[in-house]
Amino acid sequence: MEIGNIMISVVVAIIVTSLTFRYLVTTKKIKISKISKIFYEDDKSFIGSWKKIQEKGKLKFIIKIIIFTTVGSGIVGIIFILNKRRMYGYVQSQTLFSPLIMGAIIGLINSLLRWGKNQDRYSRLTEKRNV
């Protein structure tokens, strides 16, 4: 269970760091820097980047998220295989197949949710600009 604990610790550390930078930037306790931009995207840069993503299209955005999620899940599956551990209760031979399928499904769901969330944020921000 050592690998699982390390992965959980990394994910928790990233989430805490992201939320901390979001709080510090939005309350203007720190200025936006290169480091804070890694974990938090301010409204101005979001508008520019989301406009480019929209121009490329929804399908390309969805495929990109699915690929990244599937690759990440595949890496986790490989780590479990190398350490001779089972994943999700499957036997060792199914340890890579299961995370790849789950990565693709989670990537699809995540991309659709992110598209809608980012679309709403973009609409709100551009509406504020026009008013």
Which H or E run contains 68? Answer: helix 58-82
Q: Determine the 3-state secondary structure of 130 from DSSP.
A: helix
Counting Cβ atoms within 10 Å, is residue 99 exposed (0-12), middle (13-18) or buried (19+)?
buried
Looking at residue 85, its pLDDT comes to: 66
Could you read off the pLDDT tens digit of each residue along the chain, which spans 131 residues? 566 677 778 778 888 888 888 888 878 888 877 777 777 777 788 888 899 999 999 999 999 999 999 998 888 878 777 777 666 566 666 667 778 888 899 999 999 999 999 999 899 988 887 76
Query: Which pLDDT score is estimated for 95?
Result: 66
Q: List the structure tokens of 129.
A: 């600009």
pLDDT the model gives residue 75? 86
Predicted confidence at residue 56, as pLDDT, reads: 94
